[in-house]
Structure 1
């Protein structure tokens, strides 16, 4: 059951909110007739105000009703009343035409209008008896008006979806989950909300190359995937249903599109809930070939494609490893260079045990620096003390881990696993003589801070 008081406080238009609060007070005081009359008054005021906003935004269908209201405002009292009676009679249909409500909600508003007339004009009943609405009836009307119209901004279904798409496609797009939820989900009617989520799911899953988008298809798909995560926090079931609608097309898409969808959405429970078993098996089979050269070709060294690294990085998720058993074996088979690529995509505690081996396999200063940047430092916050000790031993024992930037990275490695406490500082003692003066001083400052000093 709706919390009416909470809904009343969420009415979009501040001026209309006062009318709605008055209707709510009448309902709680037991004055059902007054509550219904005021509810209809609030509905009328809200539709007219939203029509005025839409007209300013260029909506042609809003011009006529706003023109009629303005005509009434400049006419005589008698003529103005007559004009407004005509406007009021058609307001539910006007709201539907403006896509503020759908046809079922229009019928609810029409019922409020009709019952308002019974409350205000008891003589229209056949025998002239007074109409006595119950408190439950008054509550139902107020709840219907709030849910269908009053708490929502003047966003039309079709235009809201277009606005969402334009927002995500903007070259200057900034991902802000609070804004996305507020503008395109929380205060949006269920039908429009579903359309928004379905649009996000379609592009996130299928990576459609639309010439109308000013950004690259992969970038647009990544942005839509981020939006899906925000929406899933509000309604995981809706996101799952919308993702499921794309699975038939994903099953017939190219291998590249399929792997991109997996890499982009593979950490979302909604993706796995929507994935069919045949498609899951196909993806698992594709992972077995990730990083492998084409048949008949021998490739020595080299790097993974970005999509391959992104997919293999899902090995850090225990649930995904269960869904795709090939992941663990595929990661284990990689060279040190490719493992660092994978770890860079999604740093995770799972990869912490692989870091010492990476540093042992460093064969040049450049490689050591790359491994530190891609894997060691991003995962440092996940290390246990034994893992850190093993990692430092591998680092100190390999002369190729002492390139120009590495002393500074060693200091940064001290900062990041702060969860291990100040006692971890002793693990750096064997390297003190190998650090330059600046790095040694920086490390000592960090250790002093951890010990409770000011580090100055």
Structure 2
């Protein structure tokens, strides 16, 4: 059951919010007829306010109706003015549909409130006498419906809301800020608009639809996948249902696109729920190289990205050949894969690399990888990594390592001051191996530890 107090605070207009609060007070006091009447008053005020806002923004579609409203308001509390406003109220919901403030389903819900409001304020409408007595649940339901489908949404038309969302995704200065996407393009959009935004985002992420030439489809799809993750944080079932409806089309698209989609969405549950066993087998064949690559050079970039999906538990469960293929790669190929997408799954591998590094170059690269995984470290894995680092001469004395140690200390702040002991122990081991005063006794790390103390 909806929390009416919360819904009232979500009413977008400061002019309309007092009317919604009055309807809630009437409901809480047991004045259910008055609550329904006040709810309808809030609905009419909300639509009129939104029409005025759209007119101020230059929307030509609402211009004539807005003038009709202002003409009636200028007549004031005269018989002519009252008749004009009554005429406006009769067509208010139809105009709201025309202006895309609500859809036909929403209109039906609001018409029920209008009809019950008429029964509440005109008791003579009931045959055989007796005043209409609404149930408490009816008053509560009307209030919740009004605030959910109308009062909480700003005056953004459905088509314009979708256009604004698509423009944001294609903005050259786009930032993957999930809270902003959630609030602006989900929370403040009506239910129909939310469905439209999710549908467009899912099609782009899954099928790489063309954004009217505004940017390359694969890059556009990557951004839409970010938006989908934001939307899933609000309504995961809606995203799942949308993906399920697109799964058949996804099965028939080009294999190159399918592989990019797999890389893009491998971490999401709603993608895998739309993948049947047959499709999972095809995706597995697209991700795994057809034959082993020479260890002399780097992995081809496309296959490096494909194999980096091994981080996903869904991939390891549904596509076991990917994990097997990665396990058979030489160390420098694994490092290339891990660098593409740091993940908690790769932490044990990076620790093993610190142990296995056999040159200064490899030592510096493994140190960089370990630092890239700093946010995933626990006290146990940090201790294990620092131990391997300090004991491996090729790591300990690689040129970038003293600076990387300071960076690692900074990036493990989430572990708190307890980690200081681990870094002190690390310094002690390092100093036991190196000449006093050497650059490789990590003086910058010691200074950072002293400053923190």
Q: 1:365 deviation in Å?
A: 5.4
Which residue does 1:324 correspond to in 2? 319
What residue is the counterpart of 2:85 in the other structure? 84
Superposition TM-score, scaled by structure 2 size:
0.87
Distance 1:312 1:164, change over 3 A: same
Structure 1 residue runs of 5 or longer lacking an equivalent are: none
The corresponding residue for 1:388 is 386
Q: CA deviation at 1:171?
A: 0.5
Structure 1 equivalent of residue 450 of structure 2 = 448
How high is the TM-score relative to the length of structure 1? 0.87
**Pairwise CA distance, 1:88:** 0.4
CA distance in 2, matches of 1:198, 1:437: 57
- The match for 1:149 is 150
5+ residue gaps in structure 2? none
Offset, 1:447:
4.1
Partner of 2:338: 343
* Alpha-carbon distance in structure 1 between the residues aligned to 2:352 and 2:145: 64
Task: Please say if 1:378 is aligned against 2:372.
Answer: yes
SS at match of 1:164: helix
Measured on the aligned residues, the alpha-carbon RMSD in Å equals 2.8
8 Å contact kept, 1:352–1:387: no
> Kindly tell me: are residues 151 and 353 of structure 1, through their superposed partners in 2, closer, same or farther at Cα, counting changes over 3 Å?
closer
Which of 297, 304, 307 is the aligned partner of 1:301? 297
Preserved contact between residue 51 and residue 62 of structure 1 (Cα < 8 Å): yes
Alpha-carbon distance, 1:437 to partner: 4.1
- Provide the rounded CA distance (Å) in 1 between the counterparts of 2:114 and 2:344: 61
Alignment correspondent of 1:195: 196
Post-superposition offset of 1:299: 8.6
**Residues matched between the structures, number:** 441
Q: Is the 8 A contact 2:357 2:394 kept in 1?
A: no
Match of 1:353 in 2: 348
2:431 match: 429
Quote the residue 1:249 is aligned against.
249
Matches within 5 A, 1:13-412: 13-75=13-75, 77-126=78-127, 129-213=130-214, 215-289=215-289, 300-305=296-301, 307-355=302-350, 358=353, 368-373=363-368, 375-380=369-374, 382=377, 383-394=381-392, 396-397=393-394, 402=397, 404-412=399-407
Aligned-partner Cα distance in 2 for 1:349–1:143: 43
Distance between the aligned counterparts of 1:127 and 1:390, measured in 2? 90
Inter-CA distance 427–280: structure 2 relative to 1 (3 Å threshold): farther
Contact 2:202 2:242 in 1 (8 A): yes
Distance apart, 1:67 and its partner CA = 0.9
**Mean alpha-carbon deviation: is it higher for 412-421 or for 157-166?**
412-421
